[in-house]
Structure 1
Amino acid sequence: MKSKPAPEKGQIGNAERDVIALGIAIAAIILFVGTGGTIMPQIVRAWMGHGNSPDLLLTNAVLLNIALLIFGWRRYKDLNHEIGERRAAEERARDLAERDPLTGCLNRRSGPPAMEALRRELSGTSREIAVMMIDLDNFKQINDLNGHQTGDRVLTAVATRLQEALPESAILARIGGDEFACAMPFDFGARDHVDDVVAGVIRHVSAPIELNNMTVEATVSIGLAESGTEHAKATAEDAETLIHRADIAMYHAKKRGRNRSFWFEPQMEDELRFRNELEAGIRKGIAAGEFVPYYEQQIDLESGKLVGFEMLARWQSPQYGLVSPEIFIPIAEEIDAIGILSECLIRQALQDAKQWDQSLTLSVNISPIQLRDPWFAQKLIQLLVEAGFPPARLEIEITESCLHENIGAVRSIVSSLKNQGVKISLDDFGTGYSSLSQLRSLPFDRLKIDRSFVTELSGEANGKELVEAIVSLGKGLSLPITAEGVESNDVLQHLQTMGELKGQGYLYGKPEDAETTRRRLAELNMLGDSAGAPTALASEQRRAS
């Protein structure tokens, strides 16, 4: 379905009503009729030699009349040509204003009005419209790996495939970037037909795209909203509202994997609103100091002695109470707030750990997002200098997934921290795809076995063989091992048979806030002098400055 051209107006309308050209033409005709009937016979008889020469004044009037007729005709032809040129120019301008130049689809300006016109046209009939929001899942990766020129070709190919897979009556618009919107009519209650179309779109679009002797695969996430639901009628929806709801459903589909589609449900909007509230709350909470470190004990499994703590983040929200990191960490990463959040927590944790016995270590988890920052090592070292905290007591934990994003950047950061005496451990080992060459090339100080393997030690699964294999690998690489998820005596007993290990888990107590941790250490007589002598790193930094 194509949008109708707008009524002609402006310069074209003025040209079609050119009063001067019209007046000249009418005057020339009247003058010719008035003078030609008298003077023309006289001119003819004079030319044939049968009469006197015509009156000079009348002859000049006839010649002037002929000139006016020629002028009027030329003016008329030029005017028609000019009107044609202007009309073509306005058509091109309208097309540029309403069409996406890359894909030829309607654009963000013209797409929604065309969809709204379709909705109004179907209003009161037995037909409704379904609006789809279609988003390419991995388009940024395609651009980054192959260049923007290849990305443009992929978008063009996807637009062509969408037009082929959609019904002729559908309206397709490129909303922006790698997002497309579509509206198609369907019979009321015939959602199955729309689902079949969507399945065809996913199948057709996600087929490999051959470009310049290379193959590109683009998957899609699709959200749908329809105009015929009771919720839609109750809220007096228009095309923009349906696009917004389809966008919410598309976001819902994207969170659950690739090549998926979901119909909009009212609770999705509530979830998105809650998500937006969480985002605002996180930003506000960072500034207000609502995020605090909690500490989980790390125990030497052979002697049972407390040897350190792992710092875990908690959000003490006035609105939501104590919030788990599983909720706010992913959101903080998505809104690019994880860096400042982590720095605030580490700064506070270093001050807390200064009061502990010098034998106790502090472990801190680092987000993969932070390792994309080339200045991360310098920022962390600056925090150590500000706190006067010994680098040898700090252990940074990074996950295996970090090794696959940018191994060069990770190696540079790890080396910088190691040079200052900071320990580096590989967290959640066994859940990723790190190779032995990476373990040997990166200067790790410790491996941490993921809790999912450790908890299997208490069952009949083959968890024991896997944990033993990881422990043997650590011994072969001269890397100490820490086991997470020690939650029962049965698990502890299995681990104690595997050699010198550190362990942590709920068997030794849940993570505690700074004050509770301080009281625990006071009972164990493991509090140190918080105003001790400056560390070697701090002294070196001061001398360098």
Structure 2
Amino acid sequence: MSDRANIPHRSASGDRRRAERDIVLLGIIAASIIMLVGHASAVMPGVLEFLEGEGSGPAQWAASALLLNIALIIFGWRRYRDLVGEVEKSRIAEEEARELALTDPLTGSLNRRSILPLTEELVIDAEKADKAVAFVMIDLDNFKQINDLNGHRAGDCMLIEIAERIRAHLPRGAKLARLGGDEFACVVPYDRSSPDLIDQLAAKIIDSTRQPVQVNGGELAVGLSLGLSTSVELDQPGPNMAGELLHMADVAMYHAKKTGRNRYDWFAPEMERELKLRSELESGIRRGIMRGEFVPFYEQQVDVETGELTGFEMLARWQSPTLGLVTPDFFIPVAEEIGCIAELSEAVIGQALADASRWDPSLTLSVNISPIQLRDPWFAQKLLKLLAEAKFPPERLEIEVTESCLHENIGLVRSLVTSLKNQGVSVSLDDFGTGYASIAQLRALPFDRIKIDRSFIAELGRSGDNAALVSAITSIGKGMRLPVTAEGIESESVRDRLRGLGQFKGQGYFYGRPEPAEKVLARLKSEARLAEDCKTEPRLQFGDPLKDLPQDEEAGDDAPRAAGA
């Protein structure tokens, strides 16, 4: 079976013109030969008589006509040979154009244009032979990072090698195509009674591509995510059956990538529904950002020893018109994947700064920053712009970054942290203790605080006891002069255990669940802890007549709260 199915051939008009030129030229040559025979029969007797000395030779016009016929035949034959050469060159050029239309020039595989019609042919032939066809979608995991870090030439070398490794495992009759970028597809005929052969093929492809690829004297490794579909799942062969197989395999590949990568999955109808929900979720997030549906909620932060409120951590919530109130663990990963986390985060931080500007000036605001935002070298400037727009003091803002950020680009993180600190913003290391950060990194980066991961704090109130670990982290903070925040304080017993381990700022459901801005504002107003309740009297100047008035030492509790108290 040809791999070049459904590829356009030479135009019919071009073929017709060539054929007409061939026929006309051959007709001229044939007529010239006939005329030559006629003229030769009239001229040759006179020539022979002349040579024998018995006559004056043929008439001059007859000899000229004979020579003209001979010249015409020679010219026509040479022109015919040239025309045949032109046709052959044109045929070779068209063949090369067809090859380019059929194949991927980098890997020599088929391409998207050719694989679909070829798939339809294979499915039709398989149906006649009571067989089936599997469509295998292959996507390289994290290939973009290889291109970004090593250059496109290294990426091309890897694609060529991966294509060769895949091709080496394909059975006879199977076809390989590169659909574009880092996506490949295989079409594999197989016996309906042995679908496990496709499972074995997928496992071999994954295993073979795990081995590092030698590129420019170094080694590069990449994983694969595979999605499998089969013609058995098609209701009946139709005009778009190749497109359906590709779509089903693509859905299965996406599922494999989402559930762990470097694995394969067969298509199942529920994957389609899940993908549809995912698409709706992505669209909803984009619309929600434009409509202001993402809002800040606030979780209290208190001094564990005294119970005094010291500030709030901002937590984003999505007030979706269809899903209701959605927590960040549901929409943040999706927003990061679709590339709109920065826009979402900046919008919510801007609202939070406006809200916090109405609080008691002694209360701080903490906000979490996505690792993706820290890859933006302009992040610090964007944040400072938000502070300026809200007229919010940088000293009251605390940025929280996770330990995982430290292993992405430590140089960029150091630059951003330093830039923020120079403007007065505090920076804390979140989720400390999960295994990423080292003491050397803590010393290298100018953090202002560390936050113990909530999983360690939660264990203090259960059978497992992390008291020694929490105490060790507290000692690290004390030794490095870094105050410590404990997340996830859920009960009084956990609070009491922490009091015995050191000094902490704490947060968790024991102190209250996250609340919207209106509730926080109402509660602070009831406690006289709004900015308007904390205005101080003008400072007395030298010679002020009020300076000699007696001060009431008992008025401390009733006096207005000073900024920073």
Question: Partners in 2 of 1:117 and 1:236 — Cα distance?
Answer: 11
Percent identity over the alignment is: 55
- Give the match for residue 395 of structure 1: 398
Match of 1:522 among 510, 522, 525: 525
Q: 1:246 to 1:302 in 2, by over 3 A?
A: same
Contact 2:46 2:57 in 1 (8 A): yes
How far did 1:150 drift? Answer: 1.1
- Give the match for residue 204 of structure 2: 200
Q: How do 1:412-431 and structure 2 match up within 5 A?
A: 412-431=415-434
Match of 1:354 among 342, 353, 357: 357
- Give the match for residue 475 of structure 2: 472
Question: Partners in 1 of 2:125 and 2:535 — Cα distance?
Answer: 79
Secondary structure of the 1:425 match is: strand
Question: Partners in 1 of 2:152 and 2:112 — Cα distance?
Answer: 21
Amino acid at match of 2:208: H
Amino acid at match of 1:80: V
Is 1:291–2:303 an aligned residue pair? no
Q: How do 1:152-167 and structure 2 match up within 5 A?
A: 152-167=156-171
Secondary structure of the 2:515 match is: coil
> Could you say which structure has the larger radius of gyration?
2
Contact 2:124 2:237 in 1 (8 A): no
Q: How do 1:425-444 and structure 2 match up within 5 A?
A: 425-444=428-447
Is 1:3–2:7 an aligned residue pair? no
Question: Partners in 1 of 2:475 and 2:432 — Cα distance?
Answer: 13
Question: Partners in 2 of 1:327 and 1:235 — Cα distance?
Answer: 39
Match of 1:276 among 240, 260, 279: 279
Secondary structure of the 2:110 match is: coil
Point out where structure 1 has 5 or more consecutive residues left out of the alignment: 534-545
How far did 1:51 drift? Answer: 4.2
> Which string of whole-angstrom CA distances, capped at 9 and with x for unpartnered residues, describes residues 151-205 of structure 1?
1111111111111111231121111111111111112242201111111111122
TM-score after normalising by structure 2: 0.90
How far did 1:418 drift? Answer: 0.9
Q: 1:202 to 1:345 in 2, by over 3 A?
A: same
How far did 1:419 drift? Answer: 1.3
- Give the match for residue 322 of structure 1: 325
Question: Partners in 2 of 1:54 and 1:527 — Cα distance?
Answer: 129
- Give the match for residue 458 of structure 1: 461
Amino acid at match of 1:407: I
Contact 2:297 2:314 in 1 (8 A): yes
Secondary structure of the 2:232 match is: coil
Contact 1:424 1:444 in 2 (8 A): yes
Match of 2:303 among 294, 300, 304: 300
Secondary structure of the 1:322 match is: strand
Is 1:71–2:67 an aligned residue pair? no
Q: 1:324 to 1:233 in 2, by over 3 A?
A: farther
> Which string of whole-angstrom CA distances, capped at 9 and with x for unpartnered residues, describes residues 194-239 of structure 1?
1111111111222221233211212111111111115x54997511
Secondary structure of the 2:377 match is: coil
Match of 1:495 among 493, 498, 507: 498
Amino acid at match of 1:134: I
Match of 1:370 among 368, 373, 389: 373
Match of 1:44 among 41, 48, 69: 48
Is 1:112–2:116 an aligned residue pair? yes
Match of 1:172 among 169, 172, 176: 176
Contact 1:126 1:188 in 2 (8 A): yes
Amino acid at match of 2:348: L
- Give the match for residue 249 of structure 2: 246
Is 1:381–2:388 an aligned residue pair? no
Question: Partners in 2 of 1:235 and 1:283 — Cα distance?
Answer: 36
Question: Partners in 2 of 1:35 and 1:201 — Cα distance?
Answer: 76
Contact 2:431 2:452 in 1 (8 A): yes
Q: 1:457 to 1:48 in 2, by over 3 A?
A: farther
Amino acid at match of 2:139: D
Question: Partners in 1 of 2:500 and 2:240 — Cα distance?
Answer: 66
Question: Partners in 2 of 1:531 and 1:482 — Cα distance?
Answer: 26
Contact 2:471 2:502 in 1 (8 A): no
- Give the match for residue 343 of structure 1: 346
Question: Partners in 2 of 1:528 and 1:521 — Cα distance?
Answer: 10
Amino acid at match of 2:80: Y
How far did 1:257 drift? Answer: 2.2
Amino acid at match of 1:349: A
How far did 1:531 drift? Answer: 10
Amino acid at match of 1:341: L
Q: 1:142 to 1:97 in 2, by over 3 A?
A: same
Contact 1:2 1:171 in 2 (8 A): no
Q: 1:528 to 1:166 in 2, by over 3 A?
A: same
Q: How do 1:74-153 and structure 2 match up within 5 A?
A: 74-153=78-157
Amino acid at match of 2:142: N
Match of 1:510 among 513, 517, 531: 513
How far did 1:397 drift? Answer: 0.5
Amino acid at match of 2:170: L
Question: Partners in 2 of 1:249 and 1:45 — Cα distance?
Answer: 94
Contact 1:16 1:83 in 2 (8 A): no
Contact 1:223 1:246 in 2 (8 A): yes
Question: Partners in 2 of 1:13 and 1:458 — Cα distance?
Answer: 89
Secondary structure of the 2:109 match is: coil
Q: 1:130 to 1:56 in 2, by over 3 A?
A: same
Question: Partners in 1 of 2:238 and 2:31 — Cα distance?
Answer: 63
- Give the match for residue 536 of structure 1: none
Secondary structure of the 1:487 match is: coil
- Give the match for residue 59 of structure 1: 63
Question: Partners in 2 of 1:532 and 1:117 — Cα distance?
Answer: 81
Superposed CA RMSD: 2.1
Match of 1:215 among 207, 214, 219: 219
Moved more, 310-319 or 408-417: 408-417
Secondary structure of the 1:123 match is: helix
Question: Partners in 1 of 2:34 and 2:431 — Cα distance?
Answer: 99
Point out where structure 2 has 5 or more consecutive residues left out of the alignment: 537-565
How far did 1:489 drift? Answer: 2.4
Match of 2:33 among 29, 36, 61: 29
Question: Partners in 2 of 1:373 and 1:423 — Cα distance?
Answer: 19
How far did 1:499 drift? Answer: 1.0
- Give the match for residue 557 of structure 2: none
Secondary structure of the 2:428 match is: strand
Secondary structure of the 2:172 match is: coil
TM-score after normalising by structure 1: 0.93
Q: How many positions carry a matched residue from both structures?
A: 532
How far did 1:148 drift? Answer: 1.2
Contact 2:360 2:534 in 1 (8 A): no
> Which string of whole-angstrom CA distances, capped at 9 and with x for unpartnered residues, describes residues 364-414 of structure 1?
111111112222112211222222222211111011111111112211211
